[in-house]
Amino acid sequence: MREMKTDILVVGGGLGGVAAALGALEAGRSVVMSEEYDWIGGQLTSQAVPPDEHSWVEQFGVTRRYRALRDGIRRYYRDHYPLTAASRAWDQLNPGAGWVSRICAEPRVGLAVLEAMLAPYRGAGRLTVLQPYRPVAADTDGDTVRAVTLRHRDTAEEIAVEAAFVIDATELGDLLPLTGCEYVIGFESQADTGEPSAPSTAQPHNVQAVSICFAIDHVDGDHTIDKPRNYEYWRTYQPHFWGGPLLGFKAPHPRTLEITERSFTPNPDDDPLLVDADQRKSGGDQNLWTFRRIAARRNFTPGAYASDICLVNWPMIDYMEGSILDVSEAEKARHLQSAAELSHSVFYWLQTEAPRADGGTGFPGLRLRGDVTGTSHGLAMAPYVRESRRILGVTRIVEQHLSHAVRGDQGAVRYRDSVGVGMYRIDLHPSTGGDNYIDVPSCPFEIPLGALLPRRMTNLLAGGKNIATTHITNGCYRLHPVEWNVGEVAGRLAAHCLDQCTTPHQVQADDARLAGFQALLAHAGVETHWPDVRAY
């Protein structure tokens, strides 16, 4: 077995992992980062999901480095794409003009910008990226992680990486069981958390659905794929709360739970500059084509794009048949294969049976754009994971800390150890336990440092969706900019502790040490408290 040694090991190269690596590297430390898929970037790239962001993202409420990522995506389009003069001059360019986000873009562009952000540190020899590797074992000494063993996805080669600090930035919190770190999965009980939306008893295997997204366009011709193997099963599949078959344009409205019928109109001749992707005004999901559109052809010079490109992350691809957390590898693989079959079935239904506005059925001109998502099978490279294992942390974030119904005009709890901010409704998708959407209006919230720290482990930090939220509060702490903020802080904290010969728990517990670290974050462009948004 090969062996490596580094200051900080970041396991998982999603948004949290990349941010953690950058935070540590900017502080002068050496980093090894692993990623199990061919692309770094997680939600933004291999999972192909346009960023879910709050309404003030263009003004404040994200870290300086996350803003550099967003600016870099726009600059990449201006430097390399044939934009129209109007789109090129659009200060807040939204390449896909999708309604879900102010910066809907093709996943390869996000990948290119993330790779560029890391490139100087690779060249300097301070960053080693191991791809495609996943963690399979950990060497621990009491409350300390000494090393993690990573295995190559294709060759089974193993590398043991020793590090002073280890950051778990995997999508599922994979290091937690390997290191013996205490954690929780699924629904906690109301008796445990006191949350108004929690069930009376814990439901550990009741988790949010995973989804395997895909990109499509629409051009002349018949591009119908072969009928998927389990198509008839999914064609008749109907959750009890759905209001009709899963393969259909009717589904519960996430906020009201009323059965709502969406429309689907490929390539509407809309003006991308008039799209106002503000979730406060409209969910924007009534036309599924424009909702998560990632390339609007009218943003580009005539003829550059034969069609818009639409990213399918719709209610009908949510896979509710089982959890991929704390199950055997065989069962996990079976569920992911079934989720892929569901996505292929949705696409085949769109091509052959989906109702059209003209009274006909099917859109045979739809094409599966695996070239956009980097795969031969046509779907996204990785499943879109909404819920991870979560550490039992020094601080647990519960619904009462940020629910608008509970907090009202007080706003969310202000933590003495805040290391970041975020904002999104508590948005929980249908679950493996048969639950409908759960939607709870929230207040702009903070990220407590204690939520990144396991209660017992001394040098293991949470770097993504595995922080100490609950099943409920995970619903708003799981989004792109919050995951980035968590990862960046974890990387900067590990480097700071090495510089100061201290521990994360000492930084969190001691007011003077904490103030010093928060000052470091402020200098790095990490906002730790919200401004008074009523002034904007």
Query: pLDDT value at position 277?
Result: 86
DSSP state of 262: -
- Average pLDDT of 336-362? 97
Query: pLDDT value at position 70?
Result: 98
User: What is the rounded CA–CA span in Å between residue 214 and residue 203?
Assistant: 30
Query: pLDDT value at position 534?
Result: 55
Three-state SS letters, 364-413: CCEEECHHHHCCCCCECCCCECCCCCEECECCCECHHHCEHHHHHHHCCC
Domain ranges of the chain: 2-50+107-187+386-398+451-531, 210-267+307-373
- Residue 187: pLDDT above 90? yes
The pTM score is 0.97
Query: pLDDT value at position 286?
Result: 83
DSSP state of 148: E
Structure tokens at 306: 């034969």
Helix (H, G, I), strand (E, B) or coil at 446: strand
Provide the Cα torsion 459, 465, 468, 472; round to 10°: -170
CA distances from 462 to 7, 337, 371, 413, 451 (A): 17, 28, 33, 21, 8
pLDDT digits 0-9 by tens, 11-25: 999 999 999 999 999
The residue to which tokens 């090129």 are assigned: 88
- Position 425, amino acid: R
Range list of H helices, 314-377: 329-352, 370-373
- Average pLDDT of 458-479? 97
| Dihedral sign of CA atoms 338, 341, 346, 347 in order | positive
Mean of per-residue pLDDT scores for the chain:
96
- Kindly report whether the peptide bond that precedes residue 132 is cis, defined as omega within 30 degrees of 0: yes
Comparing CA positions, the residue from 340, 372, 324 lying closest to residue 46 is 372
pLDDT digits 0-9 by tens, 498-519: 999 999 999 999 999 999 999 9
Burial 473-489 (b: 16+ CB within 10 A, else e): bbbbbbbbbbbbbbbbb
User: What is the rounded CA–CA span in Å between residue 248 and residue 236?
Assistant: 10
pLDDT digits 0-9 by tens, 243-263: 999 999 999 998 899 999 999
Query: pLDDT value at position 144?
Result: 98
Structure tokens at 503: 């521990």
Q: Given the DSSP bridges, would you call strands 144-152 and 158-168 parallel, antiparallel or unpaired?
A: antiparallel
The C-alpha angle 101, 103, 104, rounded to 5 degrees, equals: 75
- Residue 283: pLDDT above 80? no
Structure tokens at 339: 């989720």
User: What is the rounded CA–CA span in Å between residue 421 and residue 418?
Assistant: 8
- The pair phi, psi for residue 388, each rounded to 5°, is -115, 170
- Residue 289: pLDDT above 70? yes
Class of the CATH-defined domain 2-50+107-187+386-398+451-531? alpha beta
Query: pLDDT value at position 234?
Result: 98
Q: CB of 169 within 8 A of CB of 31?
A: no
* Residues contacting 232, CB < 8 A, separation 6+: none
CA distances from 125 to 28, 115, 121, 129 (A): 12, 15, 6, 11
The residue to which tokens 């550059």 are assigned: 304
